[in-house]
Amino acid sequence: MVYAVSQSSTFILPIGQSKLLDQPISHDHHKSEKRRANFSFRAILPTRTSVEHETRSSSSESSRKRSIPFDQLFHNLPNELKIQIIASLPLSDILSMRVASRSWLAMITFNESAITRYHLEHHIPAYAIRLYPAPEPSLMKLHYLCGIWHRLHVASKLSFLISERVTKEIFLRTTEAQRSEFAPQYERMRRRLVPLLFTIFHFFEMYRTLHLEYIKEHGHGLRLEPYTLNPIELKVMNMYDDQTLLKVHQVFPLVISSFCRRLRPPSYVGRFERSIRGYLRDKPEDEVYVTALCVGGLRRVERFWEVKGYNTRRAAVDHWYQSVTTEPVEHIPKQRRGFMGLSRKKSSFSVGEAGRGTTDSHAHGRERRGSDNGRRGSDVSTNSWRDFVFGTSLSEGMPMGPLLREQLQLLVPDLPDLHSIWMPTAEALILDKGIVGRPQDIKRNGPALLDLIREDGAAEEDEWLYGRTAPDSVRPPLEAIEEDPIE
């Protein structure tokens, strides 16, 4: 038959045909059917355990990335970028980083010239660089930068203290409403006092240095030398330009009177009220003021000013003045005498020889056990590191530091009188240079105070004090000193 299909044919139509029940099924076909039966969306979608595993692995990788400390990431940067980042930080942060670790100390010490140069260009006002010119690039260290910041800090603090005293006692602005109304004038006065006090700091610093040099060169002080104008003051004042000399001369009596007022009770207080208020001490002698100014400088003036309480402040002044003018007395402790003191004394020669012999033997033993120099390698490295830490430029000390006893013995007896400091020499020099035509043209007392709080002229003064291209970090903002327009 044509339509008959042979039994040996294995051809099966793919569509519309059911499986033959009696057809034999092979083992491979069972496996494929089993795999097809087990197929589901779970095989495609991630399971909960796999998600947790991937999350745990990604979190471990991120934690491994986060576990790298910041200093290692910073040290991996290029050196030029690291120096630029460090130099842009405030000086207080840079000094704190020096004591953080040895690596930070080494990095800042090796690059202190670049750091100092950056701060001179961006954070130091022009009037400070004029008085303290920048040294050579090889000598530009952090000591120079910190010295300028120290002087600026003292000048800024004293300008605040003097402005507070003038506002309360001279302009009589005591209530909160009065001080709020006087705030622009107060801020203008404080801003104008900072460069002038910085110049006065420079004057006393240079005067002390040149005075000691004068005594060493001539063998005697100025008290044995007849003169019309103080030669040391004249030498220092010739370093200033005409406008700076005139402005400092006009505010110098205000600075001295404010310091003297701080160390004495009010003049209107009687004896009974003085005892009630606790003003038990009288004002110091003029020699105390002169010594504090010419030996301690404005930093000593600031420290006395900040002491709270009149009696406590006077005690601090007396203690410091005695330490400067009086030789220190060495107290030799008395030996306690007992029954053992009645026995025979040992021979000092034998004890000394025995002690010396023991010391020599121990030293010789240490030299044998140690290196050729008698020290181990770790001791050498420790000492070299100690020299590196304490041998930096900052170890030279702050400006106008304490003097030696020999220097005090030469300087203190030769100090000038209080009323002859600055004023006679500066006024004669101002008239000689023709800065003003007459002595009456020099502003004193009231006119000098009004000149400090005047509103106009701030832009021209800032251009001279801070330079034309000074950044905002150097130039104080002008918004605080501008008064509101009258509506």
**% of the chain with per-residue pLDDT over 70:** 66
- Helix and strand numbers, DSSP H then E, in the chain: 23, 0
Tell me how far apart the alpha carbons of residues 238 and 202 are, in angstroms, rounded to a whole number.
13
pLDDT at residue number 138: 83
Alpha helices in 123-264 (DSSP H): 126-131, 142-169, 176-181, 183-218, 231-237, 242-262
At CA 132, angle to CA 131 and CA 133, rounded to 5? Answer: 105
Query: What gap in Å lies between CA 133 and CA 121, rounded to an integer?
Result: 13
pLDDT (tens digit, 9 = 90+) per residue, 365-395? 444 444 444 444 445 444 554 554 555 777 7
Sign of the dihedral defined by the CA atoms of residues 213, 120, 136, 392, in that order:
positive
Whether residue 154 is predicted with pLDDT greater than 70 in this model: the reply is yes
Look up residue 73 and give its two tokens. 């990431």
Report the sign of the C-alpha dihedral through residues 180, 182, 184, 187, in that order.
negative
Residue 141 scores a pLDDT above 60: yes
CA-based end-to-end distance of the chain = 122
* Three-class DSSP labels, 348-384: HHHHHHHHHHHHHHHHHHHHHHCCCCCCCHHHHHHHH
What span, in angstroms and rounded, lies between the C-alpha atoms of 127 and 198? Answer: 9
Residue of higher predicted confidence among 199 and 465: 199
Query: Which pLDDT does position 296 carry in this prediction?
Result: 96
Q: Which residue has the higher pLDDT, 63 or 432?
A: 432
Q: pLDDT tens, 38-82? A: 545 445 455 555 556 566 666 656 555 567 887 788 888 898 999
Alpha-carbon distance 458 to 188, whole Å?
Answer: 8
Of 200 and 61, the structure prediction assigns the larger pLDDT to: 200
Three-state DSSP state, 441: helix
The single-letter DSSP state of residue 278 is T
Question: What's the pLDDT score for residue 357?
Answer: 46
Torsion 257-261-264-270 (CA) sign:
positive
CB 201 within 8 A of CB 298: yes
pLDDT tens for each residue of 255-312: 999 999 999 876 666 676 667 766 666 788 999 999 999 999 999 999 999 999 888 9
CA atoms within 13 A on the CB side of 260: 15
Q: What is the pLDDT of residue 32?
A: 57
Rounded Cα–Cα distance for residues 245 and 384 (Å):
48
For helices 142-169 and 242-262, angle between their N-to-C axes, nearest 10 degrees: 60
Q: Rounded distance, CA 108 to CA 104, Å? A: 6
Kindly state the average pLDDT of the residues 196-211: 97
In one-letter notation, the amino acid at residue 345 is: K
pLDDT tens by residue, 318-375: 999 999 998 876 655 656 555 454 455 444 444 444 444 444 444 444 444 444 444 4
Q: What is the C-alpha to C-alpha distance for residues 356 and 437, in angstroms, rounded to an integer? A: 78
pLDDT at residue number 212: 97
Q: What is the mean pLDDT of the chain?
A: 78
Higher model confidence: residue 462 or residue 232?
232
Q: Where are the domains of the chain?
A: 69-139, 144-325+399-480
Report the predicted TM-score, pTM, of the whole model to 2 decimal places.
0.73
Q: Find out whether 208 and 295 touch, Cβ atoms under 8 Å.
A: yes
Mean pLDDT is lowest, of 20-24, 79-83, 138-142, 234-238, for: 20-24
Q: Which residues are within 8 A (CB) of 216 and not within 5 positions of it... i.e. 6 or more apart?
A: 410
Q: Which region among 193-197, 347-351, 461-465 has the lowest average model confidence (pLDDT)?
A: 347-351
Assigned token pair, 55 = 């999350």
Q: How far apart are CA 145 and CA 147, in angstroms?
A: 5
Tokens linked to 70: 């910041």
